[in-house]
Amino acid sequence: MAAFVIPSTVSGEIMKSLFSGAVVASVLLSASMLVSAADIPRTASAAGAEVYIISPKDGETVTSPFKVQFGLKGMGVAPAGVDVPETGHHHLLIDVKDQPAMDAPLPMTDNIRHFGKGQTETEVNLPPGQHTLQLLVGDKSHIPLNPSVESKKITINVK
């Protein structure tokens, strides 16, 4: 079996070249991952679009679990990932005090529920007490539309 011997000066140069290439690739990859939220384009909402909660009504007392029905005027509903002009899908904000970032995908949490299949109602189970509900329409990537299409925040009482 033949053995290949690379002179140490050549192997050192090859190693330096490979290392330099790896460093450059690493820097470029890191930079590409640092795209800021401001660089993600927001989808325009349809002029005059409105989202609202059909039920429960503001101030209503409900028993858990209860149904929340979503209403939308002036635009259509489409599942997440589907790019159709003047459409979006619902997100239900439960007991959210501060508005989430409007220039980034909405996080999926117990308080921000995604309806990316195009659902227009859901069943919610909350502990007894006072709670707030609000709808926010997102685009194919779960980013709120621009300008935002959001409902009035309602307050309900769960017994």
Q: pLDDT of 46-84, one tens digit each?
A: 999 999 999 999 999 999 999 999 999 999 999 999 999
Structural domains of the chain ordered from first start: 50-158 (2.60.40.10)
For residue 5, what pLDDT band results from cuts at 50, 70 and 90? low
Nearest to 67 by CA among 117, 121, 128, 146: 121
CB 122 within 8 A of CB 67: yes
Distance, CA of 135 to CA of 90 (rounded, Å): 7
Lowest mean pLDDT among 8-17, 82-91, 106-115, 120-129: 8-17
> Is the pLDDT confidence value at 20 over 80?
no
Confidence of residue 12 (pLDDT cuts 50, 70, 90): low
Amino acid, res. 86: E
Q: How far apart are CA 134 and CA 26, in angstroms?
A: 42
Q: Taking a C-beta distance cutoff of 8 angstroms, is the pair 114, 94 a contact? A: no
pLDDT at 33: 42
Least-confidence region, from 12-26, 44-58, 88-102, 129-143 = 12-26
Q: Does 97 have pLDDT greater than 90?
A: yes
Reported pTM: 0.76
